[in-house]
Amino acid sequence: MAKEGLRHTPLYEEHKDLGARLVDFAGYEMPVQYSGIQAEHNAVRNHAGLFDVSHMGEAVFRGPDTESAVQRLVTRDVARLDVGQAGYSAVCYEDGGTVDDVIVYRREGDFLVVVNASNREKDLEHFRENTEDLDVQVADESDDWALLALQGPAAAGLLQDLTETDLSDLKPFRFAEGEIDGARSIISRTGYTGEDGFELYLSPDDAPRVWRRLIEAGATPAGLGARDTLRLEAGMCLYGNELDAQTTPLEAGISFAVHLDKEERFIGQRALLLEDTQGLRKMLVGFEMEGRGIARHGHHITSGAEIVGEVTSGTKSPTLEKAIGLALVDPGVEDWFEVVIRDNPVPAKRVSLPFYKRDRG
């Protein structure tokens, strides 16, 4: 029952064969779950899960001014990245509001910037408009790549059996070109779950075979539902929830991805320096529900009669078995507040982030 006008990733037939529940996500018909969100979530925490994230966008910067162009566009200082290293970064407007959050890969001679599917067109336009004066080409290679995310404590073991690339040499946020079961791939030790794991960039033709091999090897297919609960437990931002044009990366708690002291100026730097000096207008906090109920995106946060913020994401945490959430609140808010769920203020308490941190042995 293909829905009209929706795009499909190269793994679409695999999802149908596995009986996935498919939903519209950023214009793609994507699997939200296969066996069930909690079972898939637990598979990633305890063993290995496999996600199709081919809907993500890939922009490649090439040309003599490539590094200057990327430096201007992203908040991270990419001069500090080695070839073969990736970095999480924000992309900002002049006023400090966030265009997107991205991963920048420094390759030999070019940069690959991976963007959120829902922001692909907007980002490409922003990238090109703001680098018109430079000698750089920005190519949208989104349709040339399938992207699989293999995540969980067993991920490295499963993948090592299918590749000659020595994964023990591949540290977090490093990547290498290699082959997986004979298919050329960029193997990147990155992810969005709080677990060890890999993101595998593959040609659309090879991706279904590699997907099936990884499942045969014991990875559990996991959908966007589990991807969301996993990233939330790990305290990671989702664009459109924690980050948007009205929220700066400093407010959303990702200052580790912002190099305010970067010498080559970047778009939004002045506004972020000012906010850093004058203090945040709002800030991201994590909380646990003390009373019964699950906080959801958009619920108000109150302190007595006063509205002091808004929930950006909330769920029942499968790992902690508690209702948890993230909220953008007024700075200086007390550690106890209420989440207004269907007109009822329900007590919640602030907790430190992340909610879940893997045991690194």
Binding site for another protein (CB under 8 A): 1, 21, 32-33, 36-38, 225, 228-229, 292-294, 296, 315-316, 318, 323, 342
**Would you say 37 or 267 has its CB closer to another protein?**
37
Dihedral angle of Cα 28, 34, 38, 41, to the nearest 10 degrees? -70
Per the listing, tokens 């009205």 go with 246
**Would you say 228 or 338 has its CB closer to another protein?**
228
CA dihedral sign, ordered 158, 162, 168, 169 = negative
- The CB-of-343 to another protein minimum distance in angstroms stands at 12
**Would you say 184 or 292 has its CB closer to another protein?**
292
**Would you say 265 or 322 has its CB closer to another protein?**
322
Asked if omega into 354 is within 30° of 0 (cis), the reply is yes
- The CB-of-355 to another protein minimum distance in angstroms stands at 15
DSSP classification of residue 352 = P
Q: For residues 147 and 199, is the Cβ–Cβ distance under 8 A?
A: yes
Distance from C-alpha of 238 to C-alpha of 233, rounded to nearest angstrom: 12
- The CB-of-325 to another protein minimum distance in angstroms stands at 13
- The CB-of-29 to another protein minimum distance in angstroms stands at 15
Q: For residues 337 and 348, is the Cβ–Cβ distance under 8 A?
A: yes
- The CB-of-57 to another protein minimum distance in angstroms stands at 24
**Would you say 1 or 305 has its CB closer to another protein?**
1
Dihedral angle of Cα 354, 231, 105, 62, to the nearest 10 degrees? -130
Amino acid identity at 314: G
